[in-house]
Amino acid sequence: MIRQIITYPDKRLFMRSNEVEHFDQELHRLLDDMYETMRAKNGIGLAAIQVAVPLRALIINLPDEEGNQHKEDLLEIINPKIVQSKGSIVYTEGCLSVPEYYEDVERSEWVRVEYQDRYGNPKSLEAEGLLAVALQHEMDHLDGHLFIEKLPYLKRKKFEKEWKKKARVKVKR
């Protein structure tokens, strides 16, 4: 089922999500719905809070070199922790909860993440480049942070001004 994505400035996006304790059917349905929702909206990553569920769960499905996404490459990441990070990378990020806005953000270039899969099994992965960026972007959602909070002061102000203007146009229409 495709769920509704909540968007900025919804206050739920700024709240810390809760640890997943039950690796049950309800969690599996949530993960399946998140995948369907992310694909329907042309996303490559989604955190549970973006579909209004405050749980520490996220999915990532990076495209291959031709730009195609394959379900076999889907990562389902529950209760993640970054245990090691290094380097720095600047990537132009976008977010389904901040539609039509893209901006450069600096993050670690390499991360090691410990997490659980949908059955509660402990896992770990090492990621670099785009996957490292996506993991950090989605993990920020779990702590109630959006990529726009990482913008320099003037860019953030410009974003807020443009956002308010866009919201006014929407109300008029």
Is 87 or 99 the residue whose CB approaches ligand Y12 more closely? 99
The site for ligand Y12, by CB under 6 A, has a size of: 16
- Amino acid code (one letter) for 47: A
Within 10 angstroms of residue 105's Cβ, the number of other Cβ atoms is 19
User: In whole angstroms, what is the distance from residue 158 CA to residue 30 CA?
Assistant: 35
Contact with ligand Y12 (CB under 6 A): which of 71, 100, 122, 154?
100
Which among 31, 21, 45, 46 has a CA at the least distance from the CA of 1? Answer: 31
Q: Does 31 engage in binding with ligand Y12 (CB under 6 A)?
A: no
Catalytic residue among 76, 93, 103, 138: 138
Is 55 or 60 the residue whose CB approaches ligand Y12 more closely? 60
Which among 146, 145, 62, 60 has a CA at the least distance from the CA of 103? Answer: 146
Residues annotated as part of the active site: 138
Site residues (vs ligand Y12, CB under 6 A): 41-45, 91, 93-96, 99-100, 130, 133-134, 137
